[in-house]
């Protein structure tokens, strides 16, 4: 997993959109689409709000679509971890059953592994130097 830090939510959203992501605001207060109807073919970034406050107006204003989990009864919202788990499980199940090319290529997997190793091993640079010196 890559961590990218932005100074503001607007910077974050702009960077995501520049990289081809649609911004999906998860909220029970908009009637755009329910989870069962979500289009998995689009590269998406999901934004989840806190249970008490929900998403910021800044995210709601720039969202490309709104997504909600259908609920029954008096409950208006779910805990953020529950919402994220339900949505991500549903989306990943749909992706696995689809023809959408969502997995990393072999080259991307290798790059991720090397990146992880470089951040994990204290002597990474020394190991790499020794490898190239032995060739």
Say what the pTM is.
0.79
How do residues 1-13 score in pLDDT, each as one tens digit? 677 889 999 999 9
Q: How far apart are CA 84 and CA 26, in angstroms?
A: 9
How do residues 25-49 score in pLDDT, each as one tens digit? 998 877 778 999 999 999 999 999 8
| Local confidence pLDDT in tens for the 135 residues of the chain | 677 889 999 999 999 999 999 999 998 877 778 999 999 999 999 999 887 788 899 999 999 999 998 888 877 778 899 999 999 999 999 999 999 999 999 999 999 998 988 888 888 888 888 888 887
Other Cβ atoms less than 10 A from the Cβ of 67: the count is 23
Q: What domains are there in the chain, each with its CATH number?
A: 9-96 (3.40.1280.10), 104-135 (no CATH)
- CA diameter of the chain: 68
């Amino acid at each position: 997993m890559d961590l990218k830090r932005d100074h503001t939510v607007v910077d974050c959203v702009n960077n995501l959109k520049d990289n081809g992501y649609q911004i999906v605001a998860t909220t029970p207060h908009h009637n755009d689409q329910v989870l069962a109807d979500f289009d998995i073919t689009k590269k998406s970034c999901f934004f989840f709000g806190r249970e008490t406050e929900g998403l910021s107006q800044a995210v709601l204003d720039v969202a490309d679509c709104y997504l909600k989990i259908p609920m029954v009864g008096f409950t208006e919202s779910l805990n953020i971890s529950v919402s994220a788990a339900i949505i991500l499980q549903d989306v990943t199940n749909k992706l696995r059953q689809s023809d959408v090319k969502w997995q990393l290529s072999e080259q991307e997997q290798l790059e991720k592994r090397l990146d992880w190793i470089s951040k994990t091993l204290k002597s990474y640079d020394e190991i790499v130097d020794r490898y190239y010196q032995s060739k």
